[in-house]
Chain A
């Protein structure tokens, strides 16, 4: 969305996408958990050309104090793109309006799944730093933050994943890269709790008919199985007892 119609590249060549993927193929995803020493939990994700770090601090005393909730932990989230992260020129450091909105909707996801009642008066901070962005950074960042939250040992109802579905012409497809995203006809990032497939984050713009929305749902739930496995595998690799037999 948002790209000018001038210079629009061919997004579909011989029924395949520019990078050879079919409409239901995800880009390659790699997650590594526990990558930062100081954070209680962390994860690094490479999702296509996206490179994103997520870290969780807390539960710790809520600041400022008047923000503290005597019944539960408050969640804070900061999603940010590094000034050098995009193919375009240098961007200003610090949260812009887009990042503020993304931080808000990601925060709301963790308010749902984290067992906030276990930590009254405290705060849990989620930091998502996009080091290199190539489309779908909020989904990739949220997927990584979910692993970081588990890595912090903070109890959750579920290990949430996120992915974006969209439309190119008549084709509903999953996981757009930056160029597809810029010239697509619809884009819909979604976060799902895999235990019951409840939707915890939903944003969308462009144009979807009812039928295309239903098709996007199918693609998201199918891709979610793959993403969930990659998340669990990243955690297993951290907690497998290394060298137990030595």
Chain B
């Protein structure tokens, strides 16, 4: 942590002690979110999410691949995340950092565990199936990449159109069937700074945070969770946040659905 960070952390903590956030939101308020689908025409699916100043773009490409021996009737999802150096002064070029790997794997787990897209529906036949490569591109960082990326990946995947198949190969010039989404998973990430719990942290708040927990749900079940940073949560706090996450599901789900209909 550099000197400027030390000052920022002091500022955030001082404000929070009075119950105030740097952008004067309530502790459980979310920043405005906009979701725009089909922003990259060449990708089979794409979505850009703006959440405050955080901006994330997710793109989906479908690749026709041999099926795996243990899942002969299924396609696959492959999720990656890039913390682009243009998104934040602290991001450096190079292979994916542990932060980027964690981000991709947590978003992947929610969508996979929620059976949002049935992998059987990506099966083509004769040992071939589609693999959906979902790439999360962080374009501007101001906190809460988990929720922004989850919405972007979910919307990009749901708005995808699968290419046609010609002579046993992908025909990217034709797009046949839209991806069939069976379930929508939404993500909510809470932070803990001192004894305060807050929702949708900004970049400065994340610098000051002791602990973070991401809860992904389809409204009826928790589909994935991930605690991060060195701080802790009590089980009581976690149970409260699970309920909070579930109560926010419908609103976030509608946001994703509306972005696709547009």
Asked if A97 and B105 sit within 8 Å, CB to CB, the answer is yes
Give Cα A221–Cα B238 distance, bound, in whole angstroms.
Answer: 14
Contacts of B102 in A (CB 8 A): 101, 104-105
Let me know if A84 is at the binding interface, CB within 8 A. Answer: no
Asked if B239 and A202 sit within 8 Å, CB to CB, the answer is no
Let me know if B180 is at the binding interface, CB within 8 A. Answer: no
Q: Shortest Cβ distance from B129 into chain A, in angstroms?
A: 13
Let me know if A117 is at the binding interface, CB within 8 A. Answer: no
Let me know if B231 is at the binding interface, CB within 8 A. Answer: yes
Let me know if A233 is at the binding interface, CB within 8 A. Answer: no
Give Cα A173–Cα B19 distance, bound, in whole angstroms.
Answer: 40
Give Cα A197–Cα B105 distance, bound, in whole angstroms.
Answer: 27
Give Cα A102–Cα B237 distance, bound, in whole angstroms.
Answer: 23
Within 8 A of A (CB), among B180-206: none
Minimum CB distance partner of A203 in chain B: B226
Give Cα A104–Cα B224 distance, bound, in whole angstroms.
Answer: 17
Give Cα A225–Cα B104 distance, bound, in whole angstroms.
Answer: 34
Contacts of B73 in A (CB 8 A): 6
Within 8 A of B (CB), among A47-99: 97-98
Residue in B70, B104, B224 whose beta carbon sits within 8 Å of that of A205 in the complex:
B224
Q: How many residues of A contact B (CB 8 A)?
A: 37
User: Which of B37-45, B55-63, B170-178, B215-223 binds A?
Assistant: B215-223
Minimum CB distance partner of B98 in chain A: A104
Let me know if B213 is at the binding interface, CB within 8 A. Answer: yes
Let me know if B260 is at the binding interface, CB within 8 A. Answer: no
Minimum CB distance partner of A88 in chain B: B70
User: Which of A130-138, A144-152, A210-218 binds B?
Assistant: A210-218
Minimum CB distance partner of B102 in chain A: A101
Which of B73, B213, B225 is packed against the most chain A CB atoms within 10 Å? B225
Known contacts A100-B101, A199-B227, A205-B109: A213-B232 contact under CB 8 Å: no
Let me know if B24 is at the binding interface, CB within 8 A. Answer: no
Asked if A101 and B101 sit within 8 Å, CB to CB, the answer is yes
Asked if A202 and B222 sit within 8 Å, CB to CB, the answer is no
Asked if A210 and B239 sit within 8 Å, CB to CB, the answer is yes
Asked if A199 and B234 sit within 8 Å, CB to CB, the answer is yes
Asked if A112 and B113 sit within 8 Å, CB to CB, the answer is no
Give Cα A221–Cα B242 distance, bound, in whole angstroms.
Answer: 19
Asked if A202 and B238 sit within 8 Å, CB to CB, the answer is yes
Q: Shortest Cβ distance from A74 into chain B, in angstroms?
A: 11
Known contacts A206-B113, A210-B242: A112-B233 contact under CB 8 Å: no
Residues of B participating in the A interface, judged by any CB pair closer than 8 Å: 70-74, 96, 98-99, 101-102, 104-105, 109-110, 112-114, 213, 220-235, 238-239, 242-243, 246
Other A-B pairs, 15, CB within 8 Å; known A104-B98, A199-B233, A221-B235: A3-B70, A4-B71, A6-B72, A98-B105, A104-B102, A112-B232, A193-B232, A199-B227, A205-B109, A207-B221, A207-B222, A207-B223, A208-B221, A210-B222, A213-B242
21 A-B interface contacts by CB (under 8 A): A3-B70, A6-B73, A97-B96, A101-B105, A104-B98, A105-B227, A108-B230, A193-B232, A196-B234, A200-B232, A202-B226, A204-B224, A205-B112, A205-B223, A205-B224, A205-B225, A209-B221, A210-B239, A213-B238, A213-B242, A221-B235
Closest 6 CB pairs of A and B: A111-B230, A198-B232, A202-B227, A207-B221, A204-B225, A205-B109
Residues of A participating in the B interface, judged by any CB pair closer than 8 Å: 1, 3-4, 6, 97-98, 100-101, 103-105, 108-109, 111-112, 186, 188, 193, 196-210, 213-214, 217, 221
